[in-house]
Structure 1
């Protein structure tokens, strides 16, 4: 059922048939309006919020002139009197896109100021109320609204709905596997950790690492290995490519969490007590992975698993099918890469005094070495399979 909120106003005008502009009272402004259409949640630690709060609480009578105002989207508006407007809002689960499109910081400032007993009786704010907007119209206004602090590209991509295919996939996975993912799709998202591993762009990087068609050192392509820079924008072609890679995402997440387990075991039982011999591993920090079952008591660069994950693309064919059943080789191959290459590489970087995690993870030499090692490992496994099949055929003929 739609919910109703009452807005106390000094006056209002019909700008057009679908928009009302009002001068609203701050001291009674509804601060529990949904933030569904907004492209980010307010950050109470940001300079933007602090400026709004200071302006509101020091000179509330001048707030109307100094504030950009609030933009709302509602399903219906019903004037109750000359000084009251009743706003009908459809919740997201009812198919609505109603709530605060722009001005979330201001609404949060209202709430905090009232909680701290500031006198806001003289404070007013301009409110633009759009009526019956479609989802695309609401997103268009949210993206176009001016803000006094930058909105990250990820938030804009999310506002356009370009992450929906990933959200739907993870939703199905949560139901099937009885797990919960903690993914930040937009700026200051409540309930989502700030760990870079839980950023939606991190998941896209993991999928990129398994794209053996786009990133293949054996081809004539200039791009030999996947980039680990952010990929905030998604074109139609990119979405189609990632849709093909999406079924591989659980494997990428598994490889990452298993690597973290191996690192945890290594630093828990070091050769020299009290020392960590791996570059870029910080025991003073913590790491959260996207799958909420996995948290670790050490900090590691967000990209640390990328070269390892990328090595697994050698085991995929051009249709992204595993040449060998994943469960038959995944653990053994990971141990092979760790013991013979990656651990030694991180130890050598630590001895050399290199501590910049992102630089360590982006060294093309280690990507090349892991890729070549994967090819050699695959060839050995295929030879074993051929040998096993030959023996089976000989036994069959003998019988």
Structure 2
């Protein structure tokens, strides 16, 4: 059953058959309208919110002339009570709609807070534009086009266009299949999602890109030898979605590699050679890190891209169809320990000794990506040689046993 909200007004006019513009009373304005069409959630700490709140509470009678107004979407909007109110019927997402606040979330939050602090808002008015019967796509298109005083990050715009839908659906299936819960921020100021950079949806995409052995192949002719300093697209095209969909089955392994690396680092700093000392560059023991899988939290801060070069080295073990050449569970742990002990730990220690920080530089350091990739190739070749030698020995053993059997049979 659709919900209804009433907005008290001084006057209104029908801008077109599907749009009403009204002068609304702030003191009775509903502050529980859904934020579904909005591309980000309001943030009390933002400059936008503070400016709206200050303008509203210091000179409420001038608020109408100083504010650009609120934009809403409703399934139905009609005047009631002798045209002193507008009644809005709102269809939310679970009812197949996308109605609510398209633009003005910070403004409505300021109304709510001002009421809580008992400010007199009886003289305050605000312009309200109400679009009627919009499709979800149209509502989000208006939300994206609306002028905002605070820049909207590209991730929020990609999410508003629905470009992450395929990823959300895959994660929902993964949660159910593997009994796990993900904490991913798809847009700006998303409530319930941590601000930790590793939980940003763009970080998940980077994990996948690192395993794209077809796009990033040092043995190929393309210029992109490694995913060092990769830039994410501002919109996900059909071709890009197809590529990412092919990589999605590798997401669990990418998350595992990152999680195991962090566990190894946790063990290392928990048992330092010198008590109280941390010899790893850019590992901050005063902070904490959350990973996308909600089971994993660590008692140190680390650069967001720390695990990317290591994850990227695993693409050596993939064929052109993104299938593992060797069973992942058979080599993954041993290979990670190999990289940590023979290269990565030494790299972090040497940077710390030199007084350097790794930070985002690690994602642009071609030398690291190249060294880990070569190390992975060497490890794979060594492993394959052992497998071939083992097979030869088995064959020789079978031949020897067969010969002995025939000899014994001949003696009888």
Query: What TM-score, normalized to structure 1?
Result: 0.98
Deviations 1:158-210 (A, max 9, x none): 10011111111111111111111111111111111111101111011111100
| Corresponding residue for residue 407 of structure 2 | none
| Corresponding residue for residue 257 of structure 1 | 259
**Paired residues of 1:72 and 1:98 also in contact (CA < 8 A):** yes
| Corresponding residue for residue 209 of structure 2 | 208
Distance in 2 of aligned mates of 1:17 and 1:326: 60
| Corresponding residue for residue 158 of structure 2 | 157
Deviations 1:277-297 (A, max 9, x none): 111101111111111111111
1:232: Cα distance to partner? 4.6
| Corresponding residue for residue 71 of structure 1 | 71
> Number of paired residues?
399
Distance in 2 of aligned mates of 1:356 and 1:227: 14
| Corresponding residue for residue 334 of structure 2 | 332
1:394: Cα distance to partner? 3.9
**Paired residues of 1:143 and 1:156 also in contact (CA < 8 A):** yes
Deviations 1:113-132 (A, max 9, x none): 00000001111111111111
Q: 1:191-270 alignment to 2 at 5 Å?
A: 191-233=192-234, 234-270=236-272
| Corresponding residue for residue 347 of structure 2 | 345
The SS at the match of 1:11 is strand
Unaligned runs of 5+ in 2: 403-412
1:393: Cα distance to partner? 3.5
The SS at the match of 1:4 is strand
Distance in 2 of aligned mates of 1:373 and 1:227: 17
Answer with 389-398 or 265-274: which moved more: 389-398
The SS at the match of 1:270 is coil
Deviations 1:193-248 (A, max 9, x none): 11110111101111110000100111121111103444151222222211111111
Distance in 1 of aligned mates of 2:129 and 2:21: 5
| Corresponding residue for residue 97 of structure 1 | 98
| Corresponding residue for residue 6 of structure 2 | 6
Distance in 2 of aligned mates of 1:129 and 1:229: 41
1:6: Cα distance to partner? 1.0
Distance in 2 of aligned mates of 1:230 and 1:190: 26
**Paired residues of 1:21 and 1:128 also in contact (CA < 8 A):** yes
**Paired residues of 2:351 and 2:358 also in contact (CA < 8 A):** no
1:15: Cα distance to partner? 1.0
**Which of these two proteins has the greater Rg computed from alpha carbons?**
2
Q: CA RMSD in A?
A: 1.2
Unaligned runs of 5+ in 1: none
1:395: Cα distance to partner? 4.3
**Paired residues of 2:228 and 2:369 also in contact (CA < 8 A):** no
| Corresponding residue for residue 52 of structure 2 | 52
**Paired residues of 1:154 and 1:232 also in contact (CA < 8 A):** no
